[in-house]
Structure 1
């Protein structure tokens, strides 16, 4: 016997199939074998009959399917009323998107998906495929947004009453005149960079300002003049003269800060460079380098000089004509630590490289209309003659004696740029030739050590290439 039970459209059908193989086999001998076969069939039918007659009984292990409340599912009449009454007494589970366990005696709505969990042995139910198909995220979001709890509705009504209360409005909002007065004060606090620089210059020029206040003002100005427009605006306000006056101050701190602001304002700013030259900044900077000053002041002054000369052949010409290289050579000899020497060697390298690059014919005169004018201006800058005259061909090699790799690199670059002018002095300088051989062996060992570690194209490789380039020119 095979009993098949399934749920379909709210109907529970129990089909009992009783098979007696002997009847099929002995159909033609019915008289001889009918009693045993009929007896077995009768017993099986008696066993199946209670299942069919008691289909409406709800046992603890039975699964009952009921119509959805929305579906209506059944016609009117007395039969429909009896079904509704029976369904009211059932414990109907409301399925969700997730599987949930069915307890004994619970019923499920039609269209639900029921399964037997083979691991737990429990029956589980969830929404059917057709129901899940229409339960989209947007639909669920709309339903969740449209539901308010009673407490939330009470709070909304309470807020509406408070908003309609005139007393509460008066306490919540400020008068219009008071708002206008506060906005006017805020407008006074909002300043543009030009207004800030004007205020700082007035405070700097005030007789009541202390040295500490002026130092703070210069610090703020140095931050502002990094922007090209601000630096030009500062010059139009007359602030450049105040900064130059700070270079003549008796306080070394004011000299250092003034030189720092001046150099930051002139960096990559041709308009300010021209204004500075016209204002006599070059003479004041050379004077500050020639007089006794702390090394920190001279570092900032050298920074300002380099910013003034960079890509400005007119200023370079005036620098050379006013004995600038002579001042730098004395400063180079007096510096024992190498900090100033490195800055000076870098400045010489920049001046020589700029003239060499601008003299190349790679630039298209048609595309660059000012090319010829720049070539003419750089032709007036005679750096090579000054290098020989002031003894720079023997001064710069002294920087190779430093133990700092950065100092050596800057010296090698300057020596390579000066090679066309100082080639004879290099060949006759045995100390220089010995230093180049020693340094090459030292840095070559460093390069090999880095190659063993898997490092290539290192900083030491560049130094070796610089030494090789100088040795090739000397040979």
Structure 2
């Protein structure tokens, strides 16, 4: 504001001029007093203020008003509802804590609008048009929320005491079970007369998960769980038969200790019986999985398998299967038995051999699987798998035919259906390989199948 002055000519002031000058000075003095009273740092009877403690200042700490006094104050005062535009305040009006208040130096009036903290706790859903509308209860709750967030002691109330946490951890330690304890509990529940078929199925599912670990499978045998699993193979419930065979096969996989104990407990005979009887496909698949796990890298079990008519049981299973699923599993198992013996005999040509290896060579020499396959008619059965439309089934058949060639070569040469199948497959895979070469693919799966066919043709010449 600029104070305009007038130059009086004539060298003297009249009485009226002096009075006018004094009146102007009085008005200026009154305006300065009003400006001083309106400064925000000064305490005003018409303003709602919050006294805060500043760190490092002297005094007795933070001044906090009781909630009852705040509620009485809020009821007696006229609270202005701020908006996002500046509003003029009149004497006797209060504003919520956190509002932006300024002094307009041109008009000498105080003005208010929404502050950042208010915008944090009041969302757009409270708006109606371009103006914000807040009830007194909303203002009080928002002010309490702001004070709670600013209070450092409120953070500690959100966390549990350390001693209480220690007690909970101690209780959790008592509930922790080792795998051995879990299997003991499961076996007790399984052997209980009060257990239902559904409960036993769930128990077997949990055991199958545990016995994938070598130690757990061995502990299952030491606890006496193996006879319980073998009893499940003889159950009248096909679901228990399937689940028991699944647990047994998982426990036998790559676990020589369990393989020995299974043979000693008569597992081989129970498995062959399950294959020889009329069972659903899903049961026979799991039983075949258990038989393959028992025979793998275990010449003693393979010898017992052959001596107890295992190949006859598998041939009946092969002939009865029309889907090709069981045929593939059977042929794969036979191929594994032949290749294991061949591999161990080739390794025996090394100059440095330990005693255990020599013993294994001696054990495999007693397993005459190739001769048994020839005598039981497998030289004519395996070629039938080439008629399948699945490439994987054909691959398993070609690998088995190559492995059986030393004892079955004469029968291959007289088998007209086998020769026709080989010629047809050779043409088919040649076209597939050429198509792949056009698009830039090399070393494909079909090229590998073609190599097996060519290798078998060479042997037949």
Q: CA deviation at 1:174?
A: 7.2
Whose radius of gyration is greater, 1 or 2? Answer: 1
CA contact (8 A) 1:400 1:408 kept: yes
Is 2:454 the partner of 1:468? yes
CA contact (8 A) 1:231 1:265 kept: yes
Counterparts of 1:352-371 in structure 2, within 5 Å, are: 352-361=338-347, 364=350, 366-371=352-357
Is 2:248 the partner of 1:262? yes
Alignment match, 1:231: 217
Inter-partner Cα distance in structure 2 for 1:434 and 1:161: 86
CA contact (8 A) 1:235 1:272 kept: yes
Counterparts of 1:393-432 in structure 2, within 5 Å, are: 393-432=379-418
Is 2:300 the partner of 1:302? no
Alignment match, 2:305: 319
Q: Deviations over 1:174-215 (max 9, x none)?
A: 767x954x4453223211111111111111111111111111
Inter-partner Cα distance in structure 1 for 2:178 and 2:349: 41
Question: Which ranges of structure 1 fall in alignment gaps of 5 or more residues?
Answer: 1-153
What is the aligned counterpart of 1:198 among 158, 163, 184? Answer: 184
How many residues end up aligned between the 2 structures?
315
Q: CA deviation at 1:361?
A: 4.6
> Which region of structure 1 is more displaced relative to structure 2, 197-206 or 338-347?
197-206
Inter-partner Cα distance in structure 1 for 2:343 and 2:155: 78
CA contact (8 A) 1:365 1:372 kept: no
Q: CA deviation at 1:347?
A: 0.6
Inter-partner Cα distance in structure 1 for 2:160 and 2:209: 43
Q: Give the TM-score normalised by the residue count of structure 1.
A: 0.63
Q: Deviations over 1:381-412 (max 9, x none)?
A: 01122112110000000001111100000000
What is the aligned counterpart of 1:389 among 366, 375, 394? Answer: 375
Q: CA deviation at 1:369?
A: 3.2
CA contact (8 A) 2:148 2:154 kept: no
Alignment match, 1:442: 428
Q: Deviations over 1:62-116 (max 9, x none)?
A: xxxxxxxxxxxxxxxxxxxxxxxxxxxxxxxxxxxxxxxxxxxxxxxxxxxxxxx
CA contact (8 A) 2:348 2:361 kept: no
Inter-partner Cα distance in structure 1 for 2:371 and 2:403: 14
Inter-partner Cα distance in structure 2 for 1:408 and 1:378: 28
CA contact (8 A) 1:365 1:371 kept: no
Counterparts of 1:274-293 in structure 2, within 5 Å, are: 274-293=260-279
Alignment match, 1:350: 336
